[in-house]
Chain A
Amino acid sequence: MIRVNPDIFTTVLTGIEQSRQQSNNLLEQVASGRRVNAYSDDPAASATMVYNRAQSSLNDQFTRNISDLKAVLQTGDSAMSSAVTALTRALTLGIQGANGTLSDTDRQALAAEVDGIQQQMLSIANSSVSGNYIFSGTNVSTPAFVADAASASGVRYQGNSGVNSLELQPGQTTAINIPGSQLFTSAAGNVFQALNDLKTSLSSNGDVAGAVSSVRTAMNEVSGQRSFYGQVINQMDAASNALAQDKVRLQSQENDLTGADLAKVATDLSQTQITQNALMAAAGKVSQYTLFDFLK
């Protein structure tokens, strides 16, 4: 005689238990919105998410760096703009002064205005943002230029030639400052020297035309150097956009790897419920009677 396992309840209970376990897992997915919670739910996805999070937090930092520094670059750009304006004015004065018909008094008046422009230029060259002098190279606690009567150009450079580089986004670095010595007092065009020469030549009726020529050279040099700031700002904007797009990619990756497919979960959940109910109904029908109920 073939005997079957007389105890069906253990099997039924096991089935119900498994079914409930499945329901619980699915409900947890719904509650958290995530398919993967513990590392063991999907080890490969969990491992990839480590990289995802590292990239994401770096992305945020790059974006913050750009927005913090843009203000500094913009200050630099507008300082250069003011410098060009001031030099344009000096040029005008110089051209006027080159006219041989002017009186001494007139020329003195022009010289006095050029002196004013010199002081303005010194102030521009010593622009600072949040206490850091932006044209001092990396000597940011020291004003870039100081008035020095002993110097031929009337100023002395106190900064250094340090240039800082910044990584805008992964793999893209750019210089973010130009030392004042390169901007204002380089051999290609020395703003302070030119202005000083102009003042001197005007007040002593010297070679004004020559000084005017120097001022023009210096102004062109400053104009040329100024384009640096615009370029870096453009690079920053472009990097910012790229970072934003990458952020979206990372979020999308996160969703793909660990997000719960709620539609599928809902379907699975109702399927599990159906199975569970069928199991219990069947168990109820099968197990009601033993032979004892039928023997008198």
Chain B
Amino acid sequence: MASLSGALAIATRALLNDNAGINVTSNNIANANTEGYSRQRPVFEEAAPIQYGSLQFGNGANLEQVESMRDKLLEIRIQQETQQQADSGAYLGAMQQVQSLFGNAQGGGLETAINGLFDSFTQLTSDPSNPSIRQNVLTAGENVASEFNRLSANLSQARAQLDQQVAGATDSVNQLTAQIAALNPQISLLRASGQNAGTLEDQRTQLINKLSNLIDVNTVQSDDGFTLTTTGGAALVVGNQSFALTLQRDASSAMLHIYSSGKDLTSGIQSGQLHGFLQARDASIPGYLAQLDDLATGLGTAVNAAHSSGYDINGNQGANFFTVTAGAGAAANLQVALTDSSQVAASSDGSVGSNGNATALAAIRNQAITGGKTASQSISNLVFQLGNDVSQTSSRQDAQSMALQQLQAQRSSISGVSLDEEAANLVKYQNAFQAAARVISTIDLLTQTVINIGASSTS
């Protein structure tokens, strides 16, 4: 026969279980708005039955575990999408700035200056000996040089800024990997003893998400532990140890490179903000700088060639109009070499009023001066490239944002706390608690009755 004390034990355990259920519900409600929280749910299992004589009696329920509701695969996909979106976002920010340095659809400094130079040559053809028109040519040349100088300096500055951002992001990566490494042993310990490490795992997932913002990461969870690497294979966290990234300044580019355990990781980083910054800093901006240098070299050389085939107002052979350092740095170093308007070589035969060379100078407008392109073609190409780059990145980022949101909504549908559900659970556990308490008080009454079975005859 099953005993009363057996029933009491079952009911007591039921009370404790329902208490636990209420605890879990309370925890869920309290964390309803905690970022990265995965809702928990108590998992009850039937206790092993007890044999009384030939009959099996159920023995109540045990709280096996408190389970965190999460989808690991979904979390990984969220991390990957976060990396992509952060990459696009960082690159977009940098290139939008570069785009506005050049100008906008209404015009730009360099473009206006170059048009001004060609126009000044065209004006020179109408009155080549006019002193103020000749001075205008010099001034227009100086405007072109200073616009090239300015733009080149601004692009270099943009690179320097990105360099700082790379350093900042790398620091943040190191802080996060250190925090993850600190959590790992705690999580392993809990899991080894069969307990729910839900809260700590939530925290770790959040840290990995933040890390995904910065750099591309791969998670490997094996029985011996937790490993975090970049997709290129460099170790970031192994078990309870984190491997900090270091920064070294590269000798040839004067830019910071990222090292992991002595190996240069810089070109191996594939997404996250770091990739966006590095892409802009090491590929895109230098590309535009090179185009600028080519244009400066081409324009300076063409003007010099035409200028030195003519004669100035005193009948002297034309000197170089610009000082040109061809190749890298051409834009930064372009200067006007002439010092006086009398040196402007408008004449083609040495006579004061000849406009033959002015015509040759004006014709440069339509000549191919760099890579088979005229100055206008060169600028137009650059404008299109820049605009297209930004526009495509922007579209890509929009698409990635949408994808990320959908993934997060999916995650929320699995792991998010629903207040309706918790309310229902609360009622459920409350009722069960009350019922179990009722059982206990009934058993108490019965026990009293049993105790008093032989007591009433004494008088």
Contacts and interface: CB of A to CB of B under 8 A. Distances in A.
Does B associate with A?
A: yes
A46 B390 CA distance: 13
Given A40-B394, A61-B123, A291-B423, A46 B359 contact: no
Contacts of A34: 105-106
Contacts of B354: 138, 162, 164
Report whether over half of chain B's contact residues are helix, strand or loop; otherwise say mixed.
Answer: helix
A139 interface: yes
Contacts of B99: 38-40
Contacts of B103: 39
A143 interface: no
**A7, A41, A137, A164: which has the most chain B beta carbons within 10 Å?**
A164
Interface stretch (B4-12, B337-345, B380-388, B449-457): B380-388
Given A40-B394, A138-B351, A162-B349, A292 B104 contact: no
Nearest to B391: A40
Given A38-B99, A65-B122, A138-B351, A53 B383 contact: no
A232 interface: no
Given A38-B99, A164-B353, A292-B419, A65 B123 contact: yes
Nearest to B102: A39
Interface in A49-74: 49-51, 53-54, 57-58, 60-62, 64-65, 68-69
A123 interface: no
B416 A5 contact: yes
A258 interface: yes
A139 B127 CA distance: 13
Contacts of A241: none
Interface stretch (B111-119, B212-220, B254-262): B111-119
B157 interface: no
Interface stretch (B42-50, B186-194, B406-414): B406-414
Nearest to B356: A164
Contacts of B424: 291
A129 B127 CA distance: 11
Given A38-B104, A53-B107, A290 B419 contact: yes
A258 B107 CA distance: 12
B365 interface: yes
Contacts of B126: 65, 68-69, 166
Contacts of A31: none
A6 B384 CA distance: 45
B420 A138 contact: no
- Bin chain B's interface residue count: 35 or more
B317 interface: no
A3 interface: yes
Interface in B114-151: 115-116, 118-119, 122-123, 125-130
A279 interface: no
A46 B352 contact: no
**B100, B376, B379, B387: which has the most chain A beta carbons within 10 Å?**
B387
A38 B353 contact: no
Contact of B105 (A6, A42, A54, A136): A42
A167 interface: yes
B362 interface: yes
B386 A160 contact: no
Contacts of B416: 5-7
A46 B105 contact: yes
Contacts of A69: 126-127
Nearest to A36: B105
B359 A167 contact: yes
- Bin chain A's interface residue count: 35 or more
Interface string A262-296: 00000000000000000000000000001110010
Contacts of B421: 6
B316 interface: no
A137 B351 contact: yes
A138 B353 CA distance: 4
A58 B423 contact: no
A62 B122 contact: yes
Contact of A40 (B122, B347, B390, B418): B390
Contacts of A160: 349, 351
A58 B352 contact: no
Nearest to B424: A291
**B352, B359, B390: which has the most chain A beta carbons within 10 Å?**
B352
Contacts of B353: 132, 136-141, 162, 164
Nearest to A129: B127
A38 B423 contact: no
Contacts of B379: 50
Contact of B383 (A47, A138, A139): A47
B427 interface: yes
24 contacts: A5-B409, A5-B412, A7-B409, A7-B416, A10-B412, A11-B405, A37-B106, A38-B104, A41-B387, A42-B105, A42-B387, A43-B388, A53-B107, A54-B111, A54-B115, A58-B118, A58-B122, A64-B123, A69-B126, A137-B351, A162-B349, A164-B356, A166-B355, A295-B427
Given A10-B405, A139-B352, 10 more contacts: A3-B418, A5-B410, A37-B104, A39-B103, A40-B391, A43-B386, A47-B383, A53-B107, A132-B127, A138-B353
Q: Which 3 A-B residue pairs are closest in the complex by CB-CB distance? A: A39-B387, A43-B387, A140-B353
